[in-house]
Structure 1
Amino acid sequence: MSEKAVSTAGMITVRPIQFGSDEHALEVELRTKVLRTPLGLTFSEEELARESSDFHFGAFCPELIGCLILTPKTRSILKMRQVAVDFASQGLGAGKLLVAFSEVFARGEGFTEMELSARMNAVPFYLGLGYVASGEDFMEVGIPHRKLTKRI
């Protein structure tokens, strides 16, 4: 992944995060704060170690305010996961920038489809970005989710 792969909109910059770097440690802190702590959960070392070959991205303004991970499922499908934007920065467009950046990156790497499991309160966000909901609601980390996909 090129360190030159950067997208900027206004004051928010999206760029790759190197696994194991100081920025990655900040990413894990942000994901814990936004996605895990409200559910009374933490990350295990094993969970984090499994992410070493995933693609990590961050939104910076200038500090890290958002992140997401792309995990290859097949040669053509990526799973978007762990999308998080700091509570104080929600509504600034960081989430949309992260998703758009990840889609451009995915196409450049030869992937043709993105899938994700969205918490129910996030489903409208993804629908607005062209994702299509499929299947029944299901439980993940103790709360309802919905599967969404998009051809990219």
Structure 2
Amino acid sequence: MSLFVRLADWQADHAAIRMIRQQVFIEEQQVPADLEWDEHETSAQHFLVFHNDKPVGTGRITGDGKIGRMAVLADARGLGAGLQLLQFICHFACVEGQQSVYLNAQRHAEPFYAKAGFVAEGETFMEAGIPHVRMTRQLQEPAESA
């Protein structure tokens, strides 16, 4: 099993990003297309996770430290792709000087994010017809090489 994550560029990688989000959010979760694509697409830093050189997951972070649009294709779930992607995004944010990051987690995914160090804050709210909770994670400085 070969998993790797890399930075993605909306212009160069939008076909892969759109394919993954189309399948996960629009087709599986029935999120309306007009809610899925927003004004942050061109300004956010996007990421792609690959399994055996095939794009299977994506996510992004905006300048204010909001992680979002985390999606892994159904046939790649259970491989650790989501956790590897999330860790990569958090490391990127830390290197970029963010002190913390946050996201709006679907309630069913709250345990996944909790395992990655995120803490739920506030009440459940609806987003695209799906229950969510805001979660935050404090970031630590990258360890220096000895």
For structure 2, list consecutive stretches of 5 or more residues without a partner in the other structure: 140-146
Q: Hey, what's the Cα distance between the residues in 2 that align with 1:141 and 1:13?
A: 30
Shift of 1:25: 1.2
Asked if 1:108 corresponds to 2:99, the answer is: no
In structure 2, the partner of 1:66 is: 57
Structure 2 counterparts to residues 34-45 of structure 1, below 5 A: 34-44=24-34
In structure 2, the partner of 1:119 is: 106
Runs of 4+, deviation exceeding 6 Å: none
TM-score (norm 2): 0.88
Change beyond 3 A, Cα 1:129–1:25: same
For structure 1, list consecutive stretches of 5 or more residues without a partner in the other structure: 1-9
- CA RMSD in angstroms, aligned pairs only: 1.8
Percentage identity across aligned positions? 34
Shift of 1:49: 4.9
Change beyond 3 A, Cα 1:134–1:49: closer
Change beyond 3 A, Cα 1:14–1:81: same
Shift of 1:114: 0.6
Q: Hey, what's the Cα distance between the residues in 2 that align with 1:140 and 1:49?
A: 17
8 A contact 1:81–1:117 mirrored in 2: yes
In structure 2, the partner of 1:144 is: 131
Structure 2 counterparts to residues 1-152 of structure 1, below 5 A: 11-21=2-12, 23-44=13-34, 47-61=37-51, 62-73=53-64, 78-152=65-139
Q: Hey, what's the Cα distance between the residues in 2 that align with 1:140 and 1:56?
A: 21
Give the number of aligned pairs.
Answer: 138
